[in-house]
Amino acid sequence: QVQLVESGGGLVQPGGSLRLSCTASGSIFSIGAMGWYRQPPGKQRELVATVDNGGGPDYVDSVKGRFTISRDNAKNTVYLQMNSLKPEDTDVYYCNSRIYSSPTRWNDYWGQGTQVTVSS
């Protein structure tokens, strides 16, 4: 019913930038929290950044000052601007969103993932 489609990943040199996008489509009344996740090898899934309704972004410590999460509700889209990228940022990035089909009914959805590779 609802689908999240990600784009913007790719190969970039250390110190470079990428902007990830995640757009929701389908039966959408409103969108709650939106976030970006990654899962380094051998580690638990990590919440990279999240933004609630009305703003209020939060970030994992390792990306603070380098990444910026934003949302455009008119476009049903969440972005992750990634600057000063480091090799350790390499991962598949997944967006997640709580999407309401009515004022009281919601489900959480995942994007398909987009590969970010930071390498010389």
Span 51-65, pLDDT tens digits: 998 778 999 999 999
Per-residue confidence at 119, pLDDT binned at 50, 70, 90? very high
Place of tokens 């992750």: 80
State yes or no: pLDDT of 47 exceeds 80.
yes
Q: What's the Cα-to-Cα distance from 32 to each of 66, 103, 106, rounded to whole Å?
A: 24, 11, 9
Query: Tell me, what DSSP letter sits at residue 111?
Result: B
Q: What pLDDT does residue 31 have?
A: 95
Q: What pLDDT does residue 52 have?
A: 92
Across the chain, mean pLDDT equals 96
Q: Are 89 and 115 in contact (CB under 8 A)?
A: no
pLDDT in tens, 72-113: 999 999 999 999 999 999 999 999 999 999 999 999 999 999
Per-residue confidence at 41, pLDDT binned at 50, 70, 90? confident
Q: Are 117 and 101 in contact (CB under 8 A)?
A: no
| Burial grade of 57 (CB within 10 A; 0-12, 13-18, 19 or more) | middle
State yes or no: pLDDT of 19 exceeds 90.
yes
Mean pLDDT to the nearest integer, 5-17: 98
